[in-house]
Structure 1
Amino acid sequence: MAYQPVATLDDKPESRIPSSQSSTSARFTPDFDSDDEEDGGGLEDLEDEEGYELREIRHGQQGEEDHTLGGADEEEDEHSDDGADVPLAGQRRRRRTDSVQSFELYTPDEEIRVRRKLDIRLVLFVAMLYMVSFLDRTNVGNANVAGLSTSLHLSTSQFEWLLRAFYVSYVLFEWMTICYTLFPPHIYIASCVFFWGLLACLQSFATNFAFLLVLRVLLGIAEAAFVGMPIYLSFFFRRDELALRTGMFIAAAPLASSFSGFLAYAIMRFGDILPISNWRVLFFLEGAPALLVAIVAWYWLPDRPSTARWLTARERKVATLRMRSETTSSEPTKFATHSIQWSTILSPLLNPLSYLPALMFFACNVAFSSMPVFMPLILTDMGFPPLTSQALSAPPYLLAFLAILLTAYLSDRHHTRTVPMVFHALLAMSGYTLLALARTLHFGVWTRYACVFPVCAGFFSCVTVVITWTVNNQRTAAEKGTGVGILQFIGQLGPFVGTGLYPKEDGPYFERGMVVCAVCMLCVAGLAGGYCWMLKKENRRRQAHSKNGFIYIT
């Protein structure tokens, strides 16, 4: 293999390193656009052995790449012969937007190291925030088993309204996902976390239905701002890396449900020694952590790769450069309300392809919103005592946690979204179908409990894939904001159906709710197949007109 370094300046001759002849060669590509002042530019970068990535190129492509690097400046070089100023070695050249992929100044090892840091210090922290969010959203189910309805004299319909009230405001404020591209994310996210933590804690002081209803509405507004987190992650990770990171983020939801079950078990187990009601302790203990992590989030979360304070200057450069192949010319690098491009924001609204993922998310959310809330009640009506029900609600979520991570990893590795979506939708459907037929098939309590495991693993994984799929297939940050807004606005109507599927009088088998969820998951599988077919058709059309156009991920 022959290695051909490309000089930083046009007037520096090109040299070759002898090697055996091969059909491929690798190119050193210099960076002319660094944000690290101390690194310098031009010839200084050539002396840094870590400043290069060996990239294979086929013979026949060399001329095209040489034109990309130097073609734009040939006219400039012609004038330099008659006395024009020649650029100095340390002077940076203006970067062309059509050669952005030629300016990757990093080694594969550097990229791996940066990506690992982002996973550990960013994704895991964001996952913790989502865990706190999901905990505060769904703990009303555990609080109900711990005596909420009895203490406040709530009827079944009033309790269902507490669930719906959250989703009413949650849906109405989904448009706030666009704020991730308008305001500095570290300020926006930290503020949201603080306010929902405060509201979650205030639930422990509720004395009547009306007070608790208002708090649930406000909690929905605060948490609606958080659903655009996959947009934020797309600022740091490429399209083929996003499923695993979104999976790590979404996996916090079943982990939160599992933790909530164990915490509710501990509070009810030792609650007799406490001077206040168990459900009040539960609300407060699960809301208080948000107040603490909000302060940390303000200082810890970067707005974009170049501002991550826990990366070195070199790592910030690599983190920025590796995302340039993902960035279009319209991608914002500043967060400001005056830079809104309405044509870009509105374009997903006019694209029919934006609505199929939203319909899939709607069907997923019928199950996703109902099972975590009603799991303790379902287990209690299966015959388990309330204390045991709280503990038994945890293992299915632990399985879902592992399933999400494995699914996301395989989805990125094999560059597919359709296959895992269809598989997990059918898996969840099979679990719901068995639960719906439990009375007819004379299933015992433990057999019915076993059927809950594929249900949780299935719909949690589907939610992960459909969110990633939506973000993947939007080109710019503004389009991602609108696309996720459509996904969430339509998708979050699902909980209005889901929260009414398991009234106490339908126990202990809850056939109606199980049948509805089974049908919804079957619809998810069908919609995923149809969406894949439409994307492939559109990709063929685009490739016929342009070989370098934006290609949808299927």
Structure 2
Amino acid sequence: MANEKEVMGVELASQVETYRPEKTVAQFEHATPEEEARVIRKLDRRLLPLVFVLYSLAVLDRSNLGNARLAGLQKDVDLKGGKYAWLGTIFYISYICFQWTQMGWKQFKPHIWCASVVLLWGFVASIQAAVKSWGGLMTCRFFLAIAEAAFGPGVPLYLTFFYPREKVAFRHGVFISGAAMANAYGGALAYGITQIKGWAPWKILFLIEGLPTCCFAVIVWFFLPDGILQARFLNEREKQVALHFVARNQRLDVGKAHGLRLKEVLEGVRDPKSWIPGLMYFGCNVSFASLPLFVPTIISSLGKWDKAQSNGLSAPPYLLCFFYIIGVCYLSDRLKMRGPFVALSATLGAIGFIILGVAKTTAVRYFAIFLSVQIFASVALLLAWTANIHATESKRAGGYVVLATVGQCGPLLGTNIFPDSDKPYFRKGMWISAAFCLLVAVLACSLSLYLIRENKKMAREGVPEVEEFEDTSVARSSGVHEKHRYIW
């Protein structure tokens, strides 16, 4: 094993010399929990604001179609009949077909990859303001999806390069809560923009929400680190501390910081445990992905508010969702449990959709929207759960491709279950969404029970609860400790 350790290394950011794990293990003085916490806080300050803002912009540029529709887009571009629904459908067809591009986060240097795709989607989102036909808007939505598929689905994988596996749920929660915040301030922003006179409000909407994304591409280029060893804001001791806690109970790609291990990617794709979260993600997306497109319309159809007010009133439910995601992901990390919190969030969502399916009172239906959007917290937890199931970086990449590809098929159904003919109550869409929320809850409980059983089996086999850097970094080559205990 010693010889194998000697030939492994990690490329330093600005040096050609080799980073040797056996040297680190021999010289490393184990960090205290307080020291690890300080390093994690430094990582949080650099990484979380960037990924939060970027994902917020991504979701804003993706979901502002519902607000633009109420701001005059439907009339100016002639979105009669099923044309509007097709704008959502074409986005997700493209989004699904290009999910494999998320592996670019592992194959290439993240700062280059991320800056490139952010610039691309910002450009496409902005030029939507210039479209004059349904065909032009369809083309923009198709290419917008390609850029966003290369960005958002890969961020959870990127975050696992920096954090202990038992602490990624909170970081994924911060990242994914950017979507809830985008839907919250997107509604408020759309309300303000619709008050502007003189130029088509939907054009201003696309420009104001698209151009800042292009500016953030420059920030990403200079401030997004490629990995722990390339993080200039960490000193050498802090880098070693980070390497050790990231390698705890999962394996580092020592010697191949960038570049995929194809065999491990395929292992992640073939693993049945990749497909169950994918089915749960599908259910979440059937229920949630359609909401940003149709919540303003649903609120407007309640009959109490005009279109501009409906845009503004779509914000509060997502604001609550933002705080709920942060809270539930924090508890998930503290208790080291994923499945029960996925099931809880899905059940809350189901209750909300059931109320929307039966109630007619305006206040009750508006309250139910606050419950319905909580299904989105399950998405954040599924991102962490998928990372916890797969121990290597490349296998996680394969698992995330399955998760996202299967999961993103959900919006193809979700964007077509609220036809205008079902106004004002959209009962069919509500019942379908409730059913899929309940499916997510059942699958989450089933997977948790299976992983608990597997952990008991590994305990009988002598698989340790905690494996440190010296074991996990060379496990794939040596054959030592191929198994890891699961977080259920």
> Please, which of 300, 308, 311 is the counterpart of residue 387 of structure 1?
308
Matched, 1:508 2:434: no
Contact 1:144 1:279 in 2 (8 A): yes
Aligned to 1:242: 168
Q: How many angstroms apart in 2 are the aligned matches of 1:385 and 1:368?
A: 24
1:199 aligns with 2:124: yes
- Which of 260, 268, 271 is residue 186 of structure 2 equivalent to? 260
Alignment partner of 1:460 is 2:376: yes
Partners in 1 of 2:62 and 2:137 — Cα distance? Answer: 13
**In the superposition, relative to structure 1, how do residues 95 and 431 fare at CA in structure 2: closer, same or farther (>3 Å)?**
closer
157-166 vs 305-314, greater mean Cα deviation: 305-314
2:433 aligned to which of 517, 531, 539: 517
Q: Tell me the amino acid that sits aligned with residue 250 of structure 1.
A: I
| Gap change, CA 1:95 and 1:310, over 3 Å in 2 | closer
Aligned match of 2:112: 187
| SS class of match (1:310) | coil
How far 1:173 moved relative to its partner? 0.7
Tell me if 1:376 matches 2:303: no
Report what 1:445 is aligned to. Answer: 362
Q: What is the distance in 2 between the residues matched to 1:256 and 1:94?
A: 43
* Structure 1 residue matching 2:484: 3-state secondary structure: coil
Aligned residue type for 2:327: L
**CA shift in 2, pair 1:331/1:546, >3 Å:** farther
In structure 2, list runs of 5 or more residues that go unmatched: 1-8, 13-17, 465-482
Cα drift, residue 35 of structure 1: 9.9
Q: Which residue of 2 aligns with 1:318?
A: 241
**Partner SS for 2:43:** helix
Matched, 1:362 2:285: no
Write the letter of the residue equivalent to 1:170. Answer: Y
Residue 472 (1) aligns with residue 406 (2): no
CA offsets 1:302-331 (integer angstroms, 9 cap, x no match): 011121123344433433333232552655
Quick one: which amino acid aligns to residue 392 of structure 1? L
In structure 2, do the counterparts of structure 1 residues 241 and 551 end up closer, same or farther at CA, with 3 Å as the change threshold? same
The 1-side partners of 2:404 and 2:247 are apart by: 28
Q: Which residue of 1 aligns with 2:270?
A: 350
Which one of the candidate residues 57, 62, 66 is aligned to 1:132?
57
Paired with 2:254 and 2:419, the residues of 1 have a C-alpha distance of 47
Taking the aligned partners of 1:100 and 1:173, their CA distance within structure 2 comes to 40
Contact 2:184 2:314 in 1 (8 A): yes
- The correspondence for 1:550, drawn from 480, 484, 488, is 484
3-state SS in 1 of match to 2:64? helix
**CA–CA distance in structure 1, aligned partners of residues 202 and 313 of structure 2:** 19
| Paired amino acid for 1:245 | R
TM-score normalised by L of structure 1: 0.79
Amino acid of the structure 1 residue aligned with 2:228: P
Distance 1:149 1:102, change over 3 A: same
Give CA-to-partner distance per residue, 1:399-422, whole Å, 9 cap, x none. 000000000000000110111111
Contact 1:111 1:318 in 2 (8 A): yes
SS of 1:156's equivalent?
A: coil
Aligned residues of 2:172 and 2:380 also touching (Cα < 8 A): yes
Cα offset, 1:479, TM superposition: 0.6
- Following TM superposition, by how much is the alpha carbon of 1:114 offset from its aligned partner in structure 2, in angstroms? 1.6
From the two aligned structures, give the one with the greater helix fraction: 2
What letter matches 2:399 in structure 1? G
Q: Secondary structure at the match of 2:289?
A: helix
Counterpart of 1:306 in 2: which secondary structure? coil
Q: CA RMSD in A?
A: 2.2
Deviation at 1:101, TM superposition (A): 10
Write the distance in 2 (CA, Å) between the matches of 1:105 and 1:93.
18
1:499-537 C-alpha deviation (Å, 9 max, x unpaired): 011111211111000000000000001111111122222
Superposition pairs of residues 15-26 of structure 1, within 5 angstroms: none
Measured against aligned partners, the alpha-carbon deviations of 1:437-489 in whole angstroms (never above 9, x if no partner) come to: 11xxxx42122101110111x21111111111111111111011100000000
CA contact (8 A) 2:353 2:434 kept: yes
* Alignment partner of 1:212 is 2:128: no
> CA offset at residue 109 of structure 1?
3.1
Name the CA shift for 1:101/1:125 in 2 (closer, same or farther; >3 Å). Answer: farther
1:411 aligned to 309, 321, 332, which one?
332
Q: Give the AA of the match of 1:453.
A: F
Percent of matched pairs sharing the same residue? 37
Q: Distance in 2 between matches of 1:94 and 1:487?
A: 34
Task: Map Cα deviations across residues 61-112 of structure 1 (whole Å, 9 max, x no partner).
Answer: xxxxxxxxxxxxxxxxxxxxxxxxxxxxxxx997549x95993443433322
Tell me whether 533-542 or 342-351 shows the greater mean CA deviation. 533-542
Q: CA deviation at 1:117?
A: 1.6
User: Would you say 1:424 and 2:341 are equivalent positions?
Assistant: no
Q: Count residues in correspondence.
A: 456
Counterpart amino acid of residue 202 in structure 1: I
> Is residue 152 of structure 1 aligned with residue 69 of structure 2?
no
* Equivalent residues of 1:180, 1:481 under 8 A apart: no
Letter in 2 for 1:475: A
In 1, Cα distance between equivalents of 2:20 and 2:239: 20
Structure 1: gaps spanning 5 or more residues: 1-32, 37-91
> 1:511 is matched by which residue type in structure 2?
R
Separation in 2 of the partners of 1:345 and 1:429? 34
The residue identity in structure 2 corresponding to 1:551 is R
Q: CA deviation at 1:147?
A: 0.8
Cα gap change, 1:312 to 1:449, in 2 (>3 Å): same
2:379 alignment partner AA: V
